[in-house]
């Protein structure tokens, strides 16, 4: 649990390989949460606020300036009530996180999802390999206490609904534990 017991709402990190459903989960969770939670798509914040060192055309992505990103997100995380949605989690300080959700998807299905996004083949291959090797899950495990990490399958609408319901139960328990 976060060291900041002053927060009235938790900080939830939803992470996973691109294409695992992070933004969909985060948006639905923000809509259905029993307490107000703000969905922050970290990749969008990086672009909108120019928190990067430029665009890498080979990988079709921005080279993130992690210091600028953390400076931007620190006040929001300190306040709580946010869902941080990003393909990596190890950059976020341990003290920020109350729950880290790692979404997983079968690599064949993931490949199809990334093809639909028109990702370059090299990027599809890299992300598929990362999913097979459970890179994001290993990052989470090396960055946060085991008791706040949850690995969830994200392959169907049923998974999405079940996962959001499970996270809402966690939010209700968190809230009950922090009302005193």
Question: Is 54 annotated as contributing to ligand binding?
Answer: no
Binding site annotation covers 117?
yes
Is 22 annotated among the ligand-binding residues?
yes
Does the annotation list 23 as a binding residue? yes
Question: DSSP labels for 89-154?
Answer: -TTS-GGG-SEEEEEE--HHHHHHHHHHTT--HHHHHHHHHHHHTTHHHHHHHHHS-GGGEEEEE-
Q: In whole angstroms, what is the distance from residue 169 CA to residue 149 CA?
A: 15
Give φ, ψ of 26 to 5 degrees.
-60, -40
The binding site comprises 19, 21-24, 117
The binding site for ATP comprises 19, 21-24, 117
């Amino acid at each position: 649990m976060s060291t900041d017991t002053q927060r009235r709402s938790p900080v939830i990190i939803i992470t996973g390989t691109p294409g695992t459903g992070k933004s969909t989960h985060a948006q639905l969770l923000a809509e259905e949460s029993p307490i107000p939670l703000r969905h922050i798509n970290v990749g969008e914040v990086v672009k909108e606020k120019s928190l990067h060192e430029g665009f890498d055309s080979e990988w079709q992505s921005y080279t993130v300036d992690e210091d600028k990103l953390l400076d931007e997100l620190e006040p929001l995380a300190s306040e709580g009530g946010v869902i941080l949605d990003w393909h990596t989690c190890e950059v976020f300080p341990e003290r920020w996180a109350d729950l880290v959700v790692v979404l997983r998807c079968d690599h064949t299905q993931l490949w199809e999802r990334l093809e639909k996004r028109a990702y370059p083949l090299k990027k599809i291959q890299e992300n598929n390999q990362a999913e097979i090797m459970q890179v994001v899950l290993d990052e989470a495990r090396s960055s946060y206490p085991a008791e706040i990490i949850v690995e969830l399958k994200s392959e169907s609408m049923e998974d999405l609904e079940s996962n959001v319901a499970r996270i809402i139960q966690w939010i209700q328990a968190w809230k009950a534990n922090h009302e005193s």
